[in-house]
Amino acid sequence: MGMNLGFLKYARRTSQSEEPLERIKHYNEFHLYLSNEEQAEQAARCMDCGVPYCQYGQNIAGKTVGCPLGNLVPEFNDLLYQGKYKAAYSRLIKTNNFPEFTSRVCPALCEKACTCSLDGDAVTTHENEFAIIENAFDSGLIKPVHDIPRTGKKVAVIGSGPAGLAAAAQLNMRGHTVHVYERSDRPGGLLMYGIPNMKLEKQVVMRRINLMEREGIRFYTGKNINTKRKADDIVAGYDAVVLCCGASQPRDMNVEGRDAEGIYFAVDFLTSTTKSLLDHDLKEGTYISAKDKDVVIIGSGDTANDCLATAVRHGAKSVLQMQRHQRPPLVRSADNPWPEYPNIYVPGYGQEEAAVVYGKEPSIYGATVNKFIKGDDGKLSAVKIIGMQSVKDAKTGRSSLKPVKGTERVVPAQLALIAAGFTGAESSIVKAFGLTSDRRGAVSVTDGGYSTDREKVFAAGDMRRGASLVVWAIREGREAAREVDMFLNGYTNL
């Protein structure tokens, strides 16, 4: 598999990024990828290791190890090394409907579990995947499939994020007529408005949407199915309904001063920028702007990092990111061995940019906001932050974060962005379809599958699983489609 001893002959090389001071001048993707020849050398580093945790896709120590889609990683790496792009694409697309998305926004779980990373550098599987799928588009290998025998069955997919798109694509290929309903003005869900252009340019999303439309899938935008009447009409009009509405209920903060003007959820901040960028190139001024403001971002995940990068591009006066936990170590600790997901510090692109622009690291670790301070005009003027420390309960042995008295201080802020995660599916959707939720706010399903309490209604993606990764959403959509197909036909070959 790959070149014999290729992992010893070639050092790991990845795409170069534009320098931070250059890339903050625009909102486009900023990676400069390797040539085909150079990428083939990187694919040669993949070996027939015998323990391909890269495609394992199961949990170890509470975190996913390897690709949840079960991508045939050693196989497509070998074919890429040999220059057999068509064959490599055929192996890649067997398990992943949208490699153009995952090769841009996935945290590369495959690489984190690569055997080469046990005592060296992982294979560049993430960028190998990018090379394969983009070559397939550029070479005209990807064409719409028209000759699909139709079953006469109709399926409605509610939500056009990665789970909804995956379910729709799979069910359409099985011959069912698929209609996708999206409440926003553009299809794509999280891919369109939840992820900034810098990570995923929207023409990439629309390229796939347009292809799906040419294959017979119909998209209806501006359709919010959030009332009982609308839900009942949808259920009555289709043979099956798949809910892929995401875990879009943001987690709020119950602290003093939360009603101050100038406090927003991170997803609203990012959405307003992307929509304005697409509609008016940010020239109409209706988006939530960070320009000339002291910005405080509360949270530690990808969304917080995206907020940092966006605020920098807006021209913020300063940016500060509050993270409740301490900064992870630079290398694996003894209690975090391979192939567990590595709990190590890797700065995000937004953190790198902020550090260069403002001359210091933007993150404060082991701290949070415990008060929003507003002026006489009701607008946010500052935040009070407090240190946090991990405390172990003497009875249960469990650790939790507790505030540390005497560590409070006040920092200026005219804009605060809450990026504290999500609490589950929106209650209006759950109520409209007459469903129930579990304690996490996710829609309840039968026996760990995808069918809900209501006949003909299925749920997938973050709505069923809870807030997670794009790659997990695609897997959920694919598996839900299989269950729906079984329900409709009595058998399935998905």
Region of 103 on the Ramachandran plot (φ > 0 left; ψ -120 to 50 alpha; else beta): alpha
**Total domains, the chain:** 3
Q: List for the chain the helix, strand, coil content (%; round to 5).
A: 35, 20, 45
Q: Note whether 297 and 356 are same-domain residues.
A: yes
Of 325-334, 387-396, 406-415, 457-466, which range is least confident? 387-396
- 269 & 380 share domain: yes
Question: Looking at residue 178, which CATH number applies to its domain?
Answer: 3.50.50.60
| CATH code assigned at 24 | 1.10.1060.10
- In terms of domains, do 286 and 231 share one? no
Do the domain assignments include residue 149? no
Place of tokens 């391909």: 52
Looking at the chain, the number of H-run helices and the number of E-run strands are 17, 20
Whether the pLDDT of residue 2 is over 80: the answer is: no
pLDDT tens column, 342-385: 999 999 999 999 999 999 999 999 999 999 999 999 999 999 99
Based on the domain organization, do 217 and 76 belong to the same domain?
no
Question: What mean pLDDT is reported for the chain?
Answer: 96
**Is residue 146 in some structural domain?**
no
Please indicate, yes or no, whether residues 55 and 176 belong to a single structural domain of this protein: no
- Note the pLDDT of residue 191: 98
Same domain membership, residue 315 and residue 377: yes
**Tokens standing for 268?**
């609203």
**Do 339 and 447 fall within a single domain?**
no
Residue 124 DSSP one-character state = -
Q: Supply the range of the domain harboring residue 97.
A: 6-138
Are residue 202 and residue 314 in the same domain, yes or no? no
User: For a pLDDT cut of 90, what percent of the chain falls above it?
Assistant: 92
Q: Using an 8 Å Cβ cutoff, are 201 and 29 in contact?
A: yes
- Which of residues 420, 444, 465 is at a domain's end? 420
Mean pLDDT value across residues 246-270: 96
Same domain, 268 and 415: yes
Per the domain annotation, does 1 fall within a domain?
Answer: no
> In which band, very low, low, confident or very high, does the pLDDT at 1 lie, cut at 50, 70 and 90?
low
Q: Domain for residue 351, yes or no?
A: yes
Please check whether residues 406 and 429 belong to one and the same domain: no
Q: Looking at the domain assignment, is residue 22 inside a domain?
A: yes
Assess whether pLDDT exceeds 80 at residue 448: yes
- Point out the domain boundary residue: 369, 385, 420: 420
Q: Could you give the percent of the chain with pLDDT greater than 70?
A: 100
Q: Give the confidence band of 276 by pLDDT, cuts at 50, 70, 90.
A: very high
d(CA 37, CA 34): 8
| Domain match, 192 and 238 both | yes
The pLDDT tens digits for 116-167 are 998 899 999 999 999 999 999 999 999 999 999 999 999 999 999 999 999 9
Cα(186)–Cα(215) distance, integer angstroms = 19
User: In angstroms, how far apart are the furthest CA atoms of the chain?
Assistant: 71
Residue 144 lies in a domain: no
Segment 249-272 mean pLDDT: 97
Shared domain check, 269 and 413? yes
Segment (H or E) for 180: strand 177-182
Instruction: Indicate the residue among 420, 439, 467 that finishes a domain.
Output: 420
Query: Would you say residue 148 lies in a domain?
Result: no
Nearest to 380 by CA among 254, 264, 253, 251: 264
In a domain, 458, yes or no: yes
> pLDDT tens digit string along 385-423?
999 999 988 888 888 899 999 999 999 999 999 999 999
